Amino acid sequence: MDLFLTGNILKPKGLKGELKVQPVTDFPESFLKRKEYYIGKTPDQVVLRKVLSAKLNQGFAWIVLEGIGSREEAEAVAGYRLYVTGDALEPMPDDRAYLHDLIGLEVLDEEGGKIGVLRDVLEMPAHDVYEVDTGSRKVLVPAVADFVAEIDLKKGIIVLRRFSEFL
User: What pLDDT digit, counting tens, does each position of 125-161 carry?
Assistant: 888 899 999 999 999 999 998 999 999 888 999 999 9
Global pTM reads: 0.71
pLDDT score for 88:
83
Handedness of CA 73, 74, 76, 80 (dihedral sign): positive
Q: Quick one: which of 57, 47, 51, 56 has its CA closest to 77?
A: 47
E strands, 14-113, in order: 18-23, 36-40, 46-57, 60-65, 81-85, 106-109
* pLDDT over 80 at 74, yes or no: yes
Correct CATH for 99-166 of 3.40.50.620, 2.30.30.240, 3.30.310.50, 3.30.499.10: 2.30.30.240
- Domain 3-88 sits in which CATH superfamily? RimM (2.40.30.60)
Q: What is the pLDDT of residues 32-68, one digit of tens each?
A: 999 999 999 998 999 999 999 999 999 999 999 999 9
Structural domain boundaries in the chain: 3-88, 99-166
Q: Please report, as a single letter, which amino acid is at residue 146.
A: D
CA-based end-to-end distance of the chain:
37
